[in-house]
Structure 1
Amino acid sequence: MVTQSSWSKFDSLLDATNKRLDKVRIRRRGKSLYLRATLPPKSGEPKAKQRDLPTGKSANKPGLEQARALALDLESELLRKCFSWDKWDPRYRKNTFDISKSAYDWGQEFGTQKARQIQESTYIDDYAKPLSKLPRDKQLSGALLKAHIEQLTKDRTKSRVRYVSCYQQLADFAGIEVNLRTLNPAGGYKSKPIRADEVPTDEEILETWEKLRNPEWKAFYARIACYGMRPHEPFFATFSSDPDDPFAKIPDETKTGYHIAYPWPADWWSIMKPWEGELPPVQIEGKNNKILGSKAGRYFRETGKIGHTLYFVRHAYAIRTALSGAISDSIAAKWMGHSITIHSRTYHQAISESQHKQAWQTAKSSVTANSEELLVAPQ
């Protein structure tokens, strides 16, 4: 895990790098690097002012080297008085369409600029694959992009939404007038259905946790089981040891940014003690969330040999909160770091017949108990 000591060492390296720069400084904000400089005014602004430009690079040694190269490039432009917002902010880019470029060439040029503006993990997930699919022997056109979206993705899927977003931005970048957003699924994409028989029961989760022999991976599993985390989130989260407020805080570096979660069922917190123990010594600096989640999944699949995936442990948490009768969907969705729409659409379908019956019996017992109290109440 990244410790305070690790950040101190990195910040010392960052200070040393900045001493070799003149008009530009590299700044760390969380786990991302930015360029700080006094930049010329944008259109309609009266004067130059200091701004932060995202580099899209992570706060680690390789990322710092790449950010330094960008800083030198920016310094050169400022010294030569040839800085252009067209280069550093894609919203100002106005292209004259170059028919000599292939669709692939346009994709690579757009991708290089886009990678500067966003986190590496976001670029890999949302841009790298769609851009790599563009042909090298054809010109870029709205018709080509539309055909690619329809051929490479299925309707009402997450990949369709990603391709539409990426290719629309590419078209805007290249100056091609086309509206690809009409290909987006009405009402959003449809997640792959979760079958109730794929989700481990509470008994199976507890049994799995008890059988795990590696203490570090056992602590990791406990945190996912108690808080319904995504497989990469335990590497970044902080956990309270206060029984009156046993929260977990998931920071900005995760998929949906900062959110807070609570254990459910509540007694698992005292059984599994998720705040205790060290996590596996997995290198997290410079790794995106997908890689970290894959490493964890590989261990449990190949070494731990558990009978379910880590994501299904997360799914089980969602179903438990839905059946609790005490936790609203809106609260549970916030604990899990996604929208209430995704929460309801994804998890309610996975509630099994036996769980529906259990929920009905619980509600029936509660109503019966309340009725009996009213009958015996003094007049």
Structure 2
Amino acid sequence: MLMIEQRINEANGRLKNSYCGLKIEKIGGRLYLRGTLPPKSLSGSNKPYRQRISAANANQEGIKIAERLAKKISVQIDAKTFDWADYQEEAEVRLNIKNINDWVEEFEKDYFSRKERTFKTQTTWRVEYRAVFKFLPLEDELTIENLKSTIINCSKPDTRTRKRFCQSLNLFSKFAGLNFDFSNLVGNYSYSSREPRNLPTDKEIQDFYYQIGSDSWRWIYGMIATYGLRNHEAFFIELNSLKNPDHSIKITQGKTGSRKVWPLHPEWVATFDLTNPKCPGINLNRPNTAIGNVVTRHLRRNENMPFKVYDLRHAWAVRSLEYGIDISLAAKQMGHGLQVHSNLYHSWINEQAHQRAFELAINKSDRPLPPLL
């Protein structure tokens, strides 16, 4: 087998040196010629694109046949005399070979056969899968090497993007029956490798509230800051819950469904006048990410917000530590799993936040401090 592969590489080297635009590939027990060929009559295309032609059996004699055929076709293409009718049998064989695009289409059909098409699932498909698949050589045969090359060439190691590429192509590989694990290519990326964020102080958050010119956008800002909401979730509040004596609210829908959240700081409910809802009239009949982007654009561009909107959510997570709230309860209120909360949010807690939490815990304790030795 290694001898055949070596002979194919040698033949391809000769074809390249002779400026032949075709390359020999081995698929199963057959050899194919791959290159940019004129479109077939029923392809619907009017421009040449990469295709394959079946050439010969995968043996040493077949390599000679394939090399001669490649040179012949190359001359025909240059002379504009190439005719698919001369290779009808090979064309029919080619129709039975799936390329990567075929597999992507099947993968998408399978994905939505198991999940209802909603704004949420379509966003997941676009972000987690299509954004990765678009970098694949879609006209090529699906091979482990093609997937591996895409990961290496289109994403940097030790990054969140590389991790997404590996996770998505792991599932794609499993679906296609390759069952190859690309996890070893992720590198050293983890949530804990991120640098702590420079979050706004509570005073900075409160001061900016008074700089917002619109009552309705002040209310949205105050809800996000006080309850640690995702941007879009501020539009999906059960308004009756605003009257709860403990000021807890119910999120009716969002990225992770409905849940109950308590305010941190509780006094901000009154400070930001949150029990009197005033919501901007924006289009909510679209994906959550689109709604969230409206919030980001308005506060950053129209109100000149000096920090990121999502920093308000991160600040709530850090605040939950300072309040001594159990990590599992804080995670549930934020609408994600315990591991995500621990890995993501607590990796961004800086030294000052830990110091404040420590001092708070000491002040709450009835035990005397141990003597210094």
TM-score by length of 2: 0.64
Change beyond 3 A, Cα 1:279–1:192 = farther
Change beyond 3 A, Cα 1:258–1:163 = farther
For 1:298, the aligned partner's letter is R
Q: How do residues 46-125 of structure 1 correspond to structure 2 at under 5 angstroms? A: 100-118=97-115, 119-125=121-127
For 2:289, the aligned partner's letter is K
8 A contact 1:259–1:337 mirrored in 2: yes
Shift of 1:360: 3.3
Shift of 1:135: 1.2
8 A contact 2:170–2:182 mirrored in 1: yes
Equivalent residue number for residue 337 of structure 1 = 335
Secondary structure, aligned partner of 1:241: helix
8 A contact 2:166–2:186 mirrored in 1: no
Equivalent residue number for residue 54 of structure 1 = none
CA distance in 1, matches of 2:195, 2:312: 12
CA distance in 2, matches of 1:186, 1:328: 32
Change beyond 3 A, Cα 1:349–1:111 = closer
Change beyond 3 A, Cα 1:330–1:272 = same
Shift of 1:172: 4.1
CA distance in 1, matches of 2:355, 2:178: 55
Equivalent residue number for residue 250 of structure 1 = 251
Q: How do residues 172-251 of structure 1 correspond to structure 2 at under 5 angstroms? A: 172-174=174-176, 176-180=177-181, 182-183=183-184, 189-190=190-191, 193-196=194-197, 198-239=198-239, 240-251=241-252
Secondary structure, aligned partner of 1:143: helix
Equivalent residue number for residue 163 of structure 1 = 165
8 A contact 1:226–1:265 mirrored in 2: yes
**263-272 or 336-345, which moves further after superposition?**
336-345
Shift of 1:232: 1.4
For 2:210, the aligned partner's letter is E
Shift of 1:304: 1.0
CA distance in 2, matches of 1:127, 1:153: 14
8 A contact 1:323–1:359 mirrored in 2: yes
Secondary structure, aligned partner of 1:358: helix
For 2:345, the aligned partner's letter is Y
Equivalent residue number for residue 75 of structure 1 = none
Shift of 1:214: 0.7
Equivalent residue number for residue 355 of structure 1 = 353
For 1:278, the aligned partner's letter is K
**143-152 or 176-185, which moves further after superposition?**
176-185
Change beyond 3 A, Cα 1:177–1:137 = closer
Q: Deviations over 1:284-338 (max 9, x none)?
A: 21x222222111111111101111111101111111111112x111111111112
For 1:139, the aligned partner's letter is E
Change beyond 3 A, Cα 1:168–1:354 = closer
Equivalent residue number for residue 129 of structure 1 = 131
* Structure label with greater radius of gyration: 2
Shift of 1:192: 6.8
8 A contact 2:137–2:146 mirrored in 1: no
Equivalent residue number for residue 85 of structure 2 = none
8 A contact 2:229–2:313 mirrored in 1: yes
In the alignment, is residue 153 of structure 1 matched against residue 139 of structure 2? no
In the alignment, is residue 138 of structure 1 matched against residue 135 of structure 2? no
Change beyond 3 A, Cα 1:108–1:207 = same
Secondary structure, aligned partner of 1:211: coil
**327-336 or 159-168, which moves further after superposition?**
159-168
Alpha carbon RMSD of aligned pairs, Å?
2.9
Q: Give identity over the alignment, percent.
A: 27
Q: Deviations over 1:329-359 (max 9, x none)?
A: 1111111112222222333343344333333
8 A contact 1:158–1:191 mirrored in 2: no
CA distance in 2, matches of 1:192, 1:274: 37
CA distance in 1, matches of 2:250, 2:244: 15
Shift of 1:155: 4.5
Secondary structure, aligned partner of 2:250: strand
Shift of 1:267: 1.2
8 A contact 1:102–1:140 mirrored in 2: yes
Q: Deviations over 1:116-140 (max 9, x none)?
A: 5432122122222112222134211
Q: Deviations over 1:226-270 (max 9, x none)?
A: 11011111122324223523222224x422233221101111122
For 1:341, the aligned partner's letter is Q
Unaligned stretches of 5+ residues in structure 2: 1-93, 116-120
CA distance in 1, matches of 2:255, 2:218: 23
- The structure with higher relative contact order (CA 8 Å, sep 6+) is 1
Shift of 1:188: 8.4
For 1:291, the aligned partner's letter is A
TM-score by length of 1: 0.63
8 A contact 1:193–1:349 mirrored in 2: yes
Which consecutive segments of 4 or more residues in structure 1 shift more than 6 A?
Answer: none
CA distance in 2, matches of 1:335, 1:157: 28
